[in-house]
């Protein structure tokens, strides 16, 4: 199992009224999803979010919604409520932990004004760290449900799991949520990433869980929870397995042998005590589980539907390395357009299947599944159509992005999108030069370009590239990821790094 140790953030704080048992956990999340809040000048992961980046509050008209920045990597919704309720009643909180930001909607604009004014005159601390405040350009936070406030009677929460480095099952979510409020039903679904709906026994339980867990990590540095109120008021579950469970109807599944789950971190936010939650929990693995399809776990993925002349071992690495370390890649001579990809562990294979299965690449649709093989053996090596070898060992490459727990925690596990995040680019490279690079390698050019403001001491730049479609972005990343950029009089080349952005558009 991977290293699951939690890195605890510095500083002490008192526990809030919600009785949270959690210590600090690292948090990450994609940018705000509501259109009217795009003007908040959201920052891509890795960008500064301190007071220096804040616009003048006097340039924005007063609003009951306050934009909060400079949050520590250990804050959840309840921390904001505890710190800011002194300014007035709070209606709603929208967390943006990837950016260390949040939106807080007060009941009245006067409360928001007190918050912004006070924050400008004296330090206001949230979870032990000074935060910075400004009026939002929005007058109201758009809810994913029609309800204006939590008192509408909704006891179902919508959980979006960001950066899912490890498998998310009903048992994992039950272990997270049930100690805070009694859970009745859970349904997990994979649309744009991994999401779940959790039905609690009461609205009060759902409120308490949202406040305590919104922005927290399930595991240290990954599997971050973004929580909203869902539209349905009740969940309908027809079977109990890894993706759905009705805890009021245990007879929906025949329990099998218990299989070990990943060990819970000792500092996990939902772990109330050693009595409430065991250090190691186990769950039944039904034979009919769609996630495992009867196959034993393997660290080898089988990929079919590969373009015969445009795909090779290196390009497979460029795409699959976003979801885990790549050890070896081998094309199968007996099955044209098919390759075996040995990854760091079975969790990396699970992430690759979740995000890459059925995507289109060079006019063909990829099929990614668990291989029956448990290792890739370099036998029957031959020459591919482009002249490269059918086998390549990547175990020692520095371009693997999950070689340590610290390195792995910095990765944003995202499904393919039309926006790419680029980084590690020399400052002298321009937009036109990047477009020229696309043309020279036969991939579509981007339609929008954004460069982040670099620190004066920075030796590289980063930014965003928006393509016309998700397919075009996937093709550009597959070809250009890890391209060596050489500059005049430079001793060593710069390795262009690409990944899918958390932004849906620029």
**Residue ranges of domains in the chain, CATH in brackets:** 65-135 (3.30.70.330), 156-246 (3.30.70.330), 300-403 (3.30.70.330), 414-500 (3.30.70.330)
User: What pLDDT shows up at residue 393?
Assistant: 96
CA–CA distances in Å: residue 19 to residues 28, 229, 270, 271, 295? 23, 21, 11, 12, 42
Alpha carbon distance 64, 117 (integer Å): 13
User: What pLDDT shows up at residue 296?
Assistant: 65
Could you count the other beta carbons within 10 Å of the beta carbon of residue 153? Answer: 10
User: What pLDDT shows up at residue 502?
Assistant: 86
CB distance 115 to 85 below 8 Å: no
User: What pLDDT shows up at residue 253?
Assistant: 62
Tell me the average confidence (pLDDT) per consecutive run of 10 residues in the chain, 506 residues long: 31 33 30 33 36 52 93 86 93 83 93 94 91 92 60 80 86 92 91 86 92 88 87 88 88 50 41 32 31 62 95 98 96 94 92 92 93 89 95 95 85 90 94 96 95 88 96 97 90 93 86
User: What pLDDT shows up at residue 455?
Assistant: 83
Closest by CA position to 222, among listed 69, 4, 501, 42: 4
Closest by CA position to 234, among listed 207, 202, 209: 202
Closest by CA position to 465, among listed 504, 503, 419: 419
């Amino acid at each position: 199992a991977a290293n699951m140790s939690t890195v605890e953030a510095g500083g002490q704080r008192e526990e809030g009224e919600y009785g949270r048992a959690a210590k600090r956990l690292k948090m990450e999340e994609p940018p705000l999803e509501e259109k009217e809040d795009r003007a908040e000048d959201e920052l891509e992961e890795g960008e500064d979010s301190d007071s220096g980046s804040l616009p003048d509050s006097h340039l924005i008209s007063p609003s009951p919604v306050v934009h909060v920045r400079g949050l520590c990597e250990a804050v959840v919704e309840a921390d904001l409520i505890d710190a800011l309720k002194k300014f007035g009643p709070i209606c709603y909180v929208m967390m943006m932990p990837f950016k260390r930001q949040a939106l807080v909607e007060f009941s009245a604009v006067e409360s928001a004004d007190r918050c912004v004014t006070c924050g400008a005159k004296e330090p206001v601390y949230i979870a032990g760290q000074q935060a910075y405040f400004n009026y939002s350009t929005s007058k109201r936070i758009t809810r994913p449900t029609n309800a204006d406030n939590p008192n509408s009677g909704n006891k179902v929460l919508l959980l979006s799991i960001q950066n899912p480095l490890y498998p998310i099952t009903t048992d994992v979510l039950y272990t997270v949520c049930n100690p805070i409020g009694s859970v009745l039903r859970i349904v997990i679904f994979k649309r744009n990433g991994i999401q779940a709906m959790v039905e609690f026994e009461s609205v009060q339980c759902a409120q308490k869980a949202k406040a305590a867990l919104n922005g927290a990590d399930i595991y240290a540095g990954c599997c971050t929870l973004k929580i909203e109120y869902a539209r349905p008021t009740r969940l309908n579950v027809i079977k109990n397995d890894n993706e759905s469970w009705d805890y009021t109807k245990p007879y929906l599944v025949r329990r099998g042998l218990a299989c070990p789950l990943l060990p819970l971190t000792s500092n996990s936010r939902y772990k109330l005590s050693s009595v409430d939650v065991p250090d190691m929990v186990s769950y039944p693995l039904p034979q009919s589980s769609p996630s495992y399809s009867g196959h034993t776990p393997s660290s080898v993925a089988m990929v079919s539907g590969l373009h015969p002349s445009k795909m090779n071992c290196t390009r497979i690495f460029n795409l699959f390395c976003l979801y885990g370390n790549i050890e070896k890649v081998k094309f199968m001579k007996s099955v044209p357009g098919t390759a075996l990809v040995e990854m760091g562990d079975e969790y990396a294979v699970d992430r690759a299947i979740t995000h890459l299965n059925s995507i289109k690449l060079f006019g063909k649709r990829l099929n990614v599944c668990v291989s029956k093989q448990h290792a890739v053996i370099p036998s029957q090596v031959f020459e591919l159509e482009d002249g490269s070898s059918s086998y390549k060992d990547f175990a020692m490459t520095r371009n693997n992005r999950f070689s340590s727990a610290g390195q792995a925690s910095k990765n944003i596990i995202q499904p393919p999108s039309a926006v790419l995040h680029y980084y590690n680019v020399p400052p002298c490279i321009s937009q036109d030069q990047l477009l020229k690079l696309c043309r020279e390698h036969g991939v579509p050019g981007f339609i929008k370009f954004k460069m982040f403001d670099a620190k004066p001491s920075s030796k590289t730049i980063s930014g965003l590239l928006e393509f016309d479609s998700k397919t075009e972005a996937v093709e550009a990343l597959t070809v250009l990821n890890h391209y060596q950029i050489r500059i005049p009089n430079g001793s060593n080349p710069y390795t262009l790094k690409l990944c899918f952005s958390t932004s849906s558009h620029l």
